[in-house]
Amino acid sequence: MYKIVSKKELRPKIRSYEVYAPEIAKSAKAGQFVIFRIDERGERVPLTIAGTNLEKGLVRVVFQEVGKSTMHLASLCEGDYIRDFLGPLGNPTKIKKYGTIVAVAGGVGVAEIIPVIKELRKVNNKIITIVGVRCKDLIILEDELKQESDLLLFATNDGTHGVKGFVTDILNDVLIREKVDMVYAIGPVPMMKAISEITKEKHIETLVSLNPIMLDGSGMCGACRVSVNGNTKFVCVDGPDFNAHLLNWEEIVSRLELFKNFEKISIDKFKNNRNCKCHKE
């Protein structure tokens, strides 16, 4: 059992938890993830490791409530326990000197990109971070992002912070002004796909951290399969980072839709039965 040592509401429906898991904290590297299961009947849910505290043995995860399992997780309180918290899983992000890197994060991807840019900066890369959210009120962890970036730029759909528009508008602008050696992106699939289309044309190496539906997280079930240059790969064991230009994006988009109807039924059932001591809508 794994204890939730701290719980913070960063924004409505976006929460940051620190979970006591000293073995994971000790070995986790940037880009890796955990799979949690709240209780013996729960489904397995992957979340990126958004930071560790070695001294206290804590692992930070930041998640958005989108469906049954993340709602259930959000309903737990400080001091509650999670049944399984397995990790670190997946391959760490390759850390090396590229030169100038544009790091793009969408939504809750901000929390996931922080450990990655922190490590890439340690080896003397210049980091230009671009963050995209719907509006100013959804920006999270701005101080940490500032600390780990040489330049931090925002795109909001409604123009309430930074540029009015999309991360791709800023990326196009940066690519005109700067010689960029690598682009790293994490966030919603349509965002990563759009970035890949821009950088492919300009022949700029681009890595994306994929977030498909996962089941076992051990390369056995095939739920997270993607096609890379025509070959089948499993995101849980071969990823989560992949060369964006070799991915079959249409397949990734369609596979995310596979369980939509079941997910809706599951959310409705959970909402009807919800009974916890600290949950707020």
List of residues contacting ligand FES (CB under 6 A): 214-217, 219-224, 234, 236
Minimum Å distance from CB 95 to ligand FAD?
Answer: 18
Nearer to ligand FES, 99 or 222 (CB): 222
Q: Between 169 and 216, whose beta carbon lies closer to ligand FES?
A: 216
| Ranges of H-type helices in the chain | 22-27, 68-74, 109-122, 142-148, 167-177, 189-201, 235-238, 249-256, 260-273
Q: Which does 75 bind (CB under 5 to 8 A by kind): ligand FES, ligand FAD, none?
A: none
Cα 243 to chain centroid, rounded: 16
223 binds, among ligand FES, ligand FAD, none (CB under 5 to 8 A by kind): ligand FES
Q: Which does 222 bind (CB under 5 to 8 A by kind): ligand FAD, ligand FES, none?
A: ligand FES
Residue 84 interacts with, from ligand FES, ligand FAD, none (CB under 5-8 Å by kind): none
End-to-end CA distance of the chain: 27
User: Which of 34, 75, 72, 70 lies closest to 52 in space, CA to CA?
Assistant: 34
Angle, alpha carbons 261-68-27 (nearest 5°): 120
- Decide whether 154 or 234 has the Cβ nearer to ligand FES: 234
Q: How far is the CB of 74 from ligand FES (least distance, A)?
A: 23
**Nearest distance in Å: CB 218, ligand FAD:** 13
Q: Please report, as ranges, the residues that interact with ligand FAD according to CB under 6 A.
A: 33, 45-48, 61-64, 66-70, 108, 112, 211-214, 240, 256, 260, 263, 266-267
Report the candidate in 190, 171, 31 with the shortest Cα–Cα distance to residue 113.
31
For residue 234 the two structure tokens come to 């499993």
Q: What tokens does 82 get?
A: 């999670």
Q: Could you tell which of ligand FAD, ligand FES, none binds residue 215, using a CB distance below 5 to 8 A set by kind?
A: ligand FES
From the list ligand FES, ligand FAD, none, partner contacted by residue 234 (C-beta under 5 to 8 A by kind): ligand FES
For residues 197 and 245, give the distance between their C-alpha atoms in angstroms, rounded to a whole number.
8
How far, in Å, CA of 190 to CA of 197, rounded? 11
